[in-house]
Homo-oligomer: A and B are copies of this chain.
Amino acid sequence: MRDVRMRGFSERVDVEEVEAFLDRHTRALSAEPVDLLACVGRVLAEDVRAEVDVPGFPRSAMDGYAVRGEDTFGASNYDPISLAIAGQALPGRPFRGRVESGGAVRIMTGAAVPEGADAVVMAEVCNERDGRVEVTAPVGPRQNVGVVGEDVSAGEWVLRSGRRLRPQDAGLLASIGVDRPRCVRRPRVQLVVTGDELLPAGSRPDSGHIVDSNSVVLQALVARDGGERRPFEILPDRVDRLRDALVSAAAVADVILVSGGSSVGQEDCAPQLVRELGSLDFHGISMRPSSPAGVGRIPRGEPRASEVHPSWVFLLPGNPVSCLCAYEFFAGPVVRSLGGRSRTWPHPRVRLPLARKISSAIGRTDYVRVAIEHGRVVPIATSGASILSSTVRAAGCVIVPRELEGMPEGSEVEVRLYDDVAEF
């Protein structure tokens, strides 16, 4: 039997202090070229200037006839003007000749308007017969013609660094001939899960063992935040194994999430190891749940010039709600920020009145799971950090800041919703 040393947390820091520290020490990772189809949702790492005009040729905006506009002046139903058809222009198959005065070229939407022509008269006001077209309405020069550079002009800055790319942004990049835009690299995130009591997800729990649910939740959150998940295995509660795992992780990962082993009990050697291998910047935070959470940094094994930052290590409590909460407060913002995204919580928010008061304590930040019933916010009775089902029943959470000792019934509070789409 090993010797037991039980220590309390000597002092706890405020959530804001940890947040400010993370903010100060995190910046976006280096850039890498990304396939057009994979770039949506990624963050652009460079300003992009168009090197070409879009369209690169005068383009018909209608099905009809390419003409010299002045040839159609005065045309009407009663007095149609007849033009000789010299050929046709199809998208990708231009008419190679020139439209002379008195002539016309049949043209489809998207096709290049031939030389000589300056307008397209729409098919609806034309009658074609025997190689000639009768035009029954006039069309002015440039009418129904998309001019060169109408969408994008060569030399124009189309997208700026820091932009989180939308579907249409990727489309625009394609249209100006960009192949692989440079985006901020996705942070690599390594889970380190310890616990002799844990069975891998997918197992059936038995007496004395529970299934590791934290890794499932964490991996989904990492994916949400744009991190790149790495394979992991559950480690036994052994210092040597944990040390090896942390050293290996630091060599490859930008962020290490340690689940379990972050309290102050005898099995909890992770904080000590982080202190030995790098720095344990915080351990013990004035919050509920997640007060045993910790934050540290371990230098990279072989730093490259562009990646000199150490690996962030987040010590996440083993209790599932504490684990979720500590991820959201500390690890999530860092994962997003390393990937170039906003560190703000990604949850949609609603403001609604409280159906029952929330009690807290001055000096402590609380993460309160709430339901929404009849347009009112109902704190979920259980406060147990081990009750994952409470986060399943909840619609979202309310953060009680440390300067408040609670929130009175009827006051309007901000709910961070767990679901993307708010339908209240």
List A residues at the B interface (Cβ < 8 Å). 1, 4, 6, 8, 36-37, 40, 52, 54-57, 59, 61, 63, 87-88, 90-94, 106, 108-112, 123-124, 128, 146, 150-152, 158-159, 164, 166-177, 179-180, 195-198, 201-214, 216-221, 223-224, 237, 263-267, 318-320, 324, 342, 344, 346, 348, 384, 386-389, 391-392, 418-421, 423
Q: How far is the CB of A87 from chain B (nearest CB, A)?
A: 8
Q: Verify A151–B265 contact, CB threshold 8 A.
A: no
* A90 cross-chain contacts in B, Cβ below 8 A: 196-197, 237, 267
* Contact A37 B219, beta carbon cutoff 8 Å: yes
Q: Is the CB of A174 within 8 A of B152?
A: no
Q: How far is the CB of A217 from chain B (nearest CB, A)?
A: 4
Residue of A159, A217, A344, A420 with most partner-chain B CB within 10 A? A217
Q: Are B386 and A171 in contact, CB atoms less than 8 angstroms apart?
A: no
Residue of B with least CB distance to A386: B146
Nearest CB in chain B: distance from A109 CB, A = 6
- What's the dominant secondary structure at chain A's contact region? loop
Contacts of A420 in B (CB 8 A): 346, 420
Q: How far is the CB of A270 from chain B (nearest CB, A)?
A: 14
| A267–B91 touching, CB < 8 Å | yes
Complexed CA–CA distance, A388 and B56 (Å) = 14
Q: Which residues of B contact A174 (CB under 8 A)?
A: 201-202, 211-213, 216
Complex-state Cα separation, A209 to B197, whole angstroms: 63
Can you list 7 A-B pairs, Cβ within 8 angstroms, ordered by A?
Answer: A112-B207, A150-B387, A151-B386, A151-B388, A164-B419, A168-B324, A176-B205
Q: Which residues of B contact A214 (CB under 8 A)?
A: 171
Decide: B346 and A171 in contact? CB cutoff 8 A.
Answer: no
Contact B4–A106 (Cβ < 8 Å) = yes
With A93-B196, A171-B214, A205-B56 in contact, do A109 and B237 touch (Cβ < 8 Å)?
no
Q: How far is the CA of A9 from the CA of B339 in the complex (A)?
A: 48
Q: How far is the CB of A378 from chain B (nearest CB, A)?
A: 18
Nearest CB to that of A221 among chain B residues?
Answer: B167
* Complex-state Cα separation, A420 to B214, whole angstroms: 26
Q: Does B388 lie within 8 Å of A168, measured CB to CB?
A: yes
Say which residue of B128, B172, B237, B265 sits within 8 Å of A4 (CB atoms): B128
Give the complex CA separation of A384 and B109 in angstroms. Answer: 13
A57–B207 touching, CB < 8 Å: yes
List the B residue with the shortest CB-CB distance to A128: B4
* B158 contacts A210, C-beta separation under 8 Å: no
Are B217's CB and A202's CB within 8 A?
Answer: no
Q: A209 to chain B: which residues have CB within 8 Å?
A: 92
Shortest CB distance A23–B (Å): 17
Q: Which B-chain residue is minimally distant from A390 (CB atoms)?
A: B151
5 tightest Cβ-Cβ pairs between the two chains A and B: A92-B196, A92-B197, A167-B220, A91-B197, A171-B213
Query: A342: which B residues are within 8 A, CB to CB?
Result: 421, 423
Chain B residues closer than 8 Å to A386, beta-carbon distance: 55, 59, 61, 146, 150-151
Q: A110-B318, A172-B392, A392-B159 are in contact. Are A384 and B210 (CB under 8 A)?
A: no
Complex partner residue of A168 from B4, B55, B151, B391, CB under 8 angstroms? B391
Chain B residue at minimal CB-CB distance from A198? B92
A36's partner among B108, B216, B221, B344 (CB-CB below 8 A) is B216
Q: A123-B6, A207-B57 given as contacts; is B265 within 8 A of A63 (CB)? A: yes
Residue of B at shortest CB range from A223? B40
Q: How far is the CA of A207 from the CA of B142 in the complex (A)?
A: 19
Contacts of A210 in B (CB 8 A): 54-56, 110, 175
Contact B152 A389 (CB under 8 A): yes
Write the nearest CB–CB distance from A171 to chain B, whole angstroms: 4
Q: Which residues of B contact A109 (CB under 8 A)?
A: 263, 265, 318-319
State whether B388 touches A171 (Cβ < 8 A): yes
Whether A197 lies near B128 (C-beta < 8 A) is no
Given known contacts A4-B128, A389-B158, A224 and B167 CB-to-CB distance under 8 angstroms = yes
Q: How far is the CB of A29 from chain B (nearest CB, A)?
A: 20
